[in-house]
Amino acid sequence: MELKGSSNLSTLASSNDHGENSLYFEGWKAYDNDPFHPSRNPKGVIQMGLAENQLSFELIEDWIKKNPQASICTPEGVQAFKDIANFQDYHGLPQFRNAVAKFMGRVRGGRASFDPERIVMAGGATGASELLMFCLADRGDGFLVPSPCYPAFDRDLRWRTGVQLLHVECKSGNNFQLTKQSLEDAYENARKANIKVKGLIIANPSNPLGTTMDKATFKMLVKFINDKKIHLVCDEIYSATVFRGPRLVSVSEIIEEIECDRDLIHIVYSLSKDMGLPGFRVGIVYSYNDKVVSCARKMSSFGLISSQTQYFLASMLSDEEFVGKYLSESAMKLANQHDLFTRGLEEVGIKCLESNAGLYVWMDLRPLLKEATFEGEMDLWRVIIGDVKLNVSPGSSFHCHEPGWFRVCFANMDINTMRIALGRIRKFVVQESDQVLQVKKQKRTSKRSHGLTLSFSSQMYDETCSSPRMLSPHTPLPQSPLLRART
């Protein structure tokens, strides 16, 4: 689609292929137009579509207060100002690369080590992902991507590089686990379409599922790419968000256990999720391929991390006591927040895919669909955005092949905001109870499908009408229709 006023511009500038028209970003726009605030705008949209880790900022803030010399903009650190302000080597500060390599190893439980000489900087995970695509593929080449997958892969991996993303269907019947047969089918379909498959891209932990890949599946993947002689790109930006078992298994650990061509193995990493620092734009490419490292380092000059940021993070990540405390307390807080939210959903009969990592849950709202189609999913999403005033992301924006799944983020808000969100969800479900029972009665009478459908009203689900007790995530509810439907 060509944009207005683009006749004298490049093909890229004239196109509308960035992906910002995705429903994933439409929800953000709804929030931006009417953002929730507990006092200034208590009826506004609560942002549950943004995967940010805001639960452990006080740990970093405390460290900064105790270590003012880590910043060149303080009296204690200003003596390093001239050297750092003039540093522009695209290899990066040696102390920064050393600290990142050590941190990556610690996050993975010390079961793998990383060479600082293979650390390549980029502007966030977005820049790192695109940089890697430029190194591995030409325009028109394809990459297999298990779906559901991160919506902005369309932007990060495809928009400027021209590569094709070939979605590998994963199904709820086996909890969306990737299978060898689905990989083989997708690869064969690409071959029949005359698409040159250059690699497989996976996110581990998964976004949006919040799950980690088991060792047996990982070994199958490595064998698959090795047999096909295609690349394996592992997006591991949520590595430190694992809050309970099973533990994270990294590709760097797998390749120590089985034989494979290491030139085909590449990792994308970032501090945006693990440390909650997306504004610092710290992206890392770690490749076992010497030529990729060389090319990526040359290309990184188009998106470097500022030397001031490198200097600060080198100091913080080198503090082993702080890193240990941060990783353990962050995992504990994520687990508590996750459990608080999922228990609140369960009280009204809403289930989520069982998960152990990430800053979100994969919420199953299939019983709330008026019809089991993506149109039905859109109808439900519009009610949740417009009336319930929650920005959640529909599964279709994640290329999910089954309607009714939604990603909901829980780590970008405090407990009180989460309780308000749960209160809105509960009121929404409870206020529809009479209609739900009537629909079920009619469906039994007509002997149609036993699935649950709802008729939605357009009223605003305002948590301010509930008592403070109703906002507690542990408050018993009077016979939620979803609970009755499942008993």
The CATH number of whichever domain residue 106 belongs to comes to 3.40.640.10
In a domain, 3, yes or no: no
To the question of pTM greater than 0.85 for the whole model, the response is yes
Clarify whether residues 358 and 315 are in a common domain: no
State the pLDDT at residue 466. 37
In a domain, 458, yes or no: yes
Clarify whether residues 236 and 381 are in a common domain: no
Clarify whether residues 332 and 422 are in a common domain: yes
In a domain, 287, yes or no: yes
Please enumerate in sequence order all residues whose Cβ is within 8 A of that of 174, keeping only pairs 6 or more positions apart, or say none.
Answer: none
Clarify whether residues 280 and 354 are in a common domain: no
Count of domains observed in the chain: 2
Rounded to whole angstroms, how far apart are CA atoms 108 and 50?
Answer: 25
CATH number of the domain that residue 419 is part of: 3.90.1150.10
Whether residue 374 contacts residue 396, with contact meaning beta carbons closer than 8 Å, is answered with yes
Enumerate the active-site residues.
150, 235, 237, 273
State the pLDDT at residue 473. 37
Clarify whether residues 184 and 270 are in a common domain: yes
* Residue 128: how many other CB atoms lie within 10 Å: 29
Distances from the Cα of 317 to the Cα of 104, 110, 123, 287, 445, angstroms: 10, 15, 19, 21, 64
Clarify whether residues 50 and 61 are in a common domain: no
Whether residue 210 contacts residue 360, with contact meaning beta carbons closer than 8 Å, is answered with yes
Smallest Cα–Cα separation from 281: which of 290, 272, 292? 272
Clarify whether residues 238 and 368 are in a common domain: no
Rounded to whole angstroms, how far apart are CA atoms 333 and 77?
Answer: 32
In a domain, 4, yes or no: no
Clarify whether residues 239 and 339 are in a common domain: no
In a domain, 1, yes or no: no
pLDDT per residue, tens digit, the chain (487 aa), is: 555 555 688 888 887 777 666 676 788 788 999 999 999 999 999 999 999 999 999 999 999 999 999 999 999 999 998 988 888 787 889 999 999 999 999 999 999 999 999 999 999 999 999 999 999 999 999 999 999 999 888 888 888 999 999 999 999 999 999 999 999 999 999 999 999 999 999 999 999 999 999 999 999 999 999 999 999 999 999 999 999 999 999 999 999 999 999 999 999 999 999 999 999 999 999 999 999 999 999 998 888 899 999 999 999 999 999 999 999 999 999 999 999 999 999 999 999 999 999 999 999 999 999 889 999 999 999 999 999 999 999 999 999 999 999 999 999 999 999 999 999 999 887 765 445 446 556 655 665 555 444 344 434 444 433 333 333 333 444 444 454 444 3
Please enumerate in sequence order all residues whose Cβ is within 8 A of that of 423, keeping only pairs 6 or more positions apart, or say none.
Answer: 463, 466, 470, 471
In a domain, 6, yes or no: no
Smallest Cα–Cα separation from 477: which of 349, 336, 337, 341? 349
State the pLDDT at residue 9. 87
Which domain does 242 fall in, by range?
57-319
State the pLDDT at residue 113. 93
Token output for 200 = 């497989």
Please enumerate in sequence order all residues whose Cβ is within 8 A of that of 100, keeping only pairs 6 or more positions apart, or say none.
Answer: 116, 119, 269, 284, 313, 317
Q: Burial of 481 by CB count in 10 Å (0-12 exposed, 13-18 middle, 19+ buried)?
A: buried
Clarify whether residues 197 and 268 are in a common domain: yes
Clarify whether residues 133 and 97 are in a common domain: yes
State the pLDDT at residue 486. 42
- Select from 277, 304, 319 the last residue of a domain: 319
Q: Which residue has the tokens 């508590």?
A: 336
In a domain, 262, yes or no: yes
Clarify whether residues 87 and 202 are in a common domain: yes
Q: Is the peptide bond before 148 cis (omega within 30 degrees of 0)?
A: yes
State the pLDDT at residue 26. 81
- Select from 289, 319, 349 the last residue of a domain: 319
* Residue 114: how many other CB atoms lie within 10 Å: 22
In a domain, 2, yes or no: no
Clarify whether residues 283 and 421 are in a common domain: no
- Select from 319, 343, 365 the last residue of a domain: 319
